[in-house]
Amino acid sequence: TLLPARSKVQKVKHHAALPYDEIGIFIKDLRKQEGISARGLEFLILTAARTGETIGARWDEFDFDKAVWVIPADRMKVDKEHKVPLSSAALEVLTGLKEIAHNDFVFPGMRSNTSLSNMAFLQLLKRMGRHDLTAHGFRSSFRDRAAERTAYPHEVAEMALAHAVGNKVEAAYRRGDLFDKRRKIMDDWAGFCADNVGA
């Protein structure tokens, strides 16, 4: 009982992330890749979602008319429903997949009515020669860019990542989900990914 908690003394290991200024070039290369994994990783980047949230996505979670993805609480890390505003680029990925959908999952696996493996994105990155990256690291790319290159409030970016914001008192007073503001930050991110392709 005299020793500090392990979490307070062990080193934090961060996921390998792509510098945000390189994201456009990466997306350009990613779009040359064929297959469900490539489309899934592109969707993950555009929505700043976690791997599990992405590969577990089912068609009934999407409202195309309202351009929103509603991830149920039981699939979220924080056990709370999360609404993701979808940019036109994210909708474009979904529309292409909807035309060839053959089971409940947006990003289907090889076996009947299964999703992609949770290793699919990592294997794709290795095939692309990007051993230096992880799928989760793209969330850091999004967050770093929001902090360093935009004027969006801290809590908007944090809520876009489905992070808990503030302490219990603050949470009690903030009942909204800043959805409209989050739509702007996600549209801005998608535009940055599309425009920032380098020379």
Q: Which residue is listed with tokens 């068609």?
A: 59
Tokens for 52, please give them.
Answer: 């599990």
Catalytic one of 39, 139, 143, 145: 139
Q: Is 163 a catalytic residue?
A: yes
User: HSE of 28 in the Cβ direction (CA atoms, 13 Å)?
Assistant: 12
Active-site residue, 139 included = yes
Residues 61, 156, 86, 18, CA torsion sign:
negative
CA–CA gap between residue 115 and residue 55 (Å, rounded): 6
Which of 28, 75, 130, 136 is labelled catalytic? 136
136 counts as catalytic: yes
Catalytic residue among 80, 149, 163, 174: 163
Catalytic site includes residue 154 = no
The single residue of 14, 77, 126, 131 carrying the catalytic annotation is 77
Residue 14 among the catalytic residues = no
Element (H, E) at 70: strand 68-71
**Residue in 39, 50, 82, 182 annotated catalytic:** 50
Active site residue 173: yes
Question: Which residues are the active-site residues?
Answer: 50, 77, 136, 139, 163, 173
